[in-house]
Chain A
């Protein structure tokens, strides 16, 4: 991921259309790969206040989003004025072209131009030894979630999935959560005995499960994969996770929302959002304040997306603990 210096261009008149131009401050690996392809074209899929999703001609997703979200694998980050909104300036169906390191969105009466970085220096996901994990952080997380006033999603299952650390309880009375709890419990059992096909089957049943732009099941999987991706000790037989990823990649299309699918595809390729990556790395720092900051950044993502990812991480940590204990 790259952080370029911020450069603003004033809103101006150009060809009788209002014009907004800025330099990207960050770009994900997947996005960099895509914008580097010559003559890339796309169509705006959906527009939010602080983000625009574009479907490229090969069907993949590219997002322009406010820097406050930090970098995501398929995202181009820009710094927006606090009052700036893409709504009304860009519309679903608008044509997008990417040429000469510029991303241009033409809309009726408005043009948006993002100057893309020419060079990047990737911060690869770091790999840690599980033995170095700071266990006290695990029990602090439920309190941090509570302090941010977050609830819902699959994190509501925290207690019913048998997590006992910290002081978090939410009553669950929801058909989706009940179904998810069964899938997650099954997943745990099958991963412990290295049952590939049943593990994949239960992961796939979580895909697209829940509500919102990124359903809770997908966010849970992202958290789970992000943690596994960052730890060095092998807990599965050789090529087990490779096979899980391969089978998931083959079966994931059209199982979830477009945005969520892009996150999952990137995750299966080992790429995660900056907020999730730094959160996982936080478990291996010595600084609890730093970890709290990383956790809060992730907790604040979406209405429940962040805490669903956290649940996925905690699930992965518990799996590590179980399997390492079993192996010794």
Chain B
């Protein structure tokens, strides 16, 4: 197998940058081994142990950077080296083109007329800067988490006093005036306004509204803790008022985990006063109470999106179980189960989106009963160790156990890859349920990052005389840089069943699992 060693004299790069570049280069088809490393004796010793050495390595100095790559052909080697140069150049260009300002005031001078400030600092510093931005008359989006609840409330009270919006802390999805912030998808403009304390929930509703032919006026993220009683839903209340006064919004959708009791009362009271229709999806919330306050309850994220669209179009508010006909669904179930071994009985869900994980559990409990999970609220079905599945298991890979010290899996796919390999090889697995999230600021190829692992575990199950059913949903739009259709096609080509929403994916996964468990 051809080996290429390149030594770059007296060149340093940030180690995290090198790690990212190595990761990108290893994805190139045909690359067997690849190391980008400084030429110190200890590092050269490692290269020698990996048989990634030649006379260039021997003479490389301690301040030199060594790139060692082994690939299936000379063409692949050339491709790797060209791609590497491009990646280094991109990094340098990016640095050159960055306009760095060292204060909010300086940034405002450089960009007069800006009215939103996005803050992504460690939690302990975020609030001070958010207060400064609010004092300067800017709406704020606070991506930071780990902000104490009293600070969360205090900053929102300040925003209210100033008549500005405070989106976050812990807010990941915002679409304002057609601009996708943070991990939001690129969505067309339209008459549906969303206020969400759930990032992935807000994003999927927006994407599904677009798929149904409409668009989103504003999607206001409020942060995961806004509806706790200690914070009192201050941002959701402000968001509802903003959308009520927004002439471009015809219908409002609210999405969240179930609020604290006192906060729920305030939100319901507000819904009652609003003149526009309000669709409410509070996961686990009581539909009757919502109806009593003139809200339109939804049963899942897709249902919330459909109800909003139908309210705008003045159509009946019917629930849709599946987009496909029941005959097609039966055909899929029978096709997916016929090759399984008798011991293949269990479902394993691997989720990046926390709300999707909760939604899937709720859907699956209807069809297969008990589901173990690491998600909050799993109660007696909480996994003792999120790395060890038990019977039917749905794992939130965005939970702290997996994100400790590393980016969220929507950015860094390693935890997803590891989970696919870990769960997909088990003898008792029948169905793997998985979500993918698209957007400009996240992994540029979420499906491509894990597709080889999906193929690998399908192959392993096939070689063991069985079959692994993989069911997926992709949250995103055609306008996202990753492109919804392209990502879905990649999955379908690998034999994955792609459903149009997470709820539908969970429902069909449940039906397939139920069928194999009953055999």
Contacts and interface: CB of A to CB of B under 8 A. Distances in A.
A150 interface: yes
Interface stretch (B10-18, B325-333, B374-382, B499-507): B10-18
A211 interface: yes
Contact of B42 (A148, A205, A261): A205
Contacts of B46: 175-176, 179, 209
Contacts of B418: 171
Given A176-B37, A303-B15, A304-B16, A210 B406 contact: no
A93 B405 CA distance: 39
Nearest to A261: B62
A173 B421 CA distance: 14
A227 interface: no
A303 B19 CA distance: 11
- Chain A interface, >50% SS class: loop
Interchain residue pairs A-B with the least CB separation, the first 6:
A208-B40, A82-B102, A212-B15, A209-B42, A151-B405, A211-B15
A212 to B, nearest CB: 4
Contacts of B13: 211-212
A257 B16 contact: no
21 contacts: A46-B12, A83-B102, A147-B124, A147-B146, A148-B122, A149-B405, A155-B405, A168-B404, A168-B405, A170-B405, A175-B46, A205-B42, A207-B41, A208-B43, A209-B40, A209-B42, A255-B42, A257-B12, A257-B62, A303-B15, A303-B17
B406 A153 contact: no
A146 B404 contact: yes
A208 B38 contact: yes
Contacts of B42: 205-209, 215, 217, 255-256
A211 B21 CA distance: 13
Nearest to B33: A175
B414 interface: yes
Given A146-B400, A147-B146, 11 more contacts: A83-B100, A142-B404, A153-B15, A156-B405, A169-B405, A207-B40, A208-B43, A215-B38, A254-B62, A255-B62, A303-B15
Nearest to B40: A208
A175 B50 contact: yes
A169 B405 CA distance: 7
Interface string A232-261: 000000000000000000000011111001
Contact of B400 (A167, A176, A217): A167
Interface in A44-86: 46, 82-83
Contacts of B100: 83
A17 interface: no
A14 B307 CA distance: 73
Given A170-B404, A171-B418, A215-B40, A147 B15 contact: no
A213 interface: yes
A213 B12 contact: yes
A213 B15 CA distance: 8
Nearest to A149: B122
Q: Which of A211, A216, A261 has most B Cβ within 10 Å?
A: A211
Size bracket, chain B contacts: 35 or more
A87 to B, nearest CB: 11
B401 interface: yes
A217 B45 CA distance: 14
Q: Which of A46, A155, A210, A216 has most B Cβ within 10 Å?
A: A210
A153 B405 CA distance: 11
B14 A303 contact: yes
A145 interface: yes
Contacts of B14: 212, 303
Nearest to B16: A303
B35 A175 contact: yes
Contacts of B405: 142, 145-146, 149-151, 155-156, 168-170
A152 interface: yes
A208 B64 CA distance: 12
Q: Which of B16, B17, B40, B124 has most A Cβ within 10 Å?
A: B40
Nearest to A258: B63
Contacts of A145: 405
Interface in B402-420: 404-407, 414-415, 418
Contacts of A176: 37, 43, 46
A258 B62 contact: yes
B123 interface: yes
A255 B122 contact: no
Q: Which of B12, B100, B123 has most A Cβ within 10 Å?
A: B12
A250 to B, nearest CB: 15
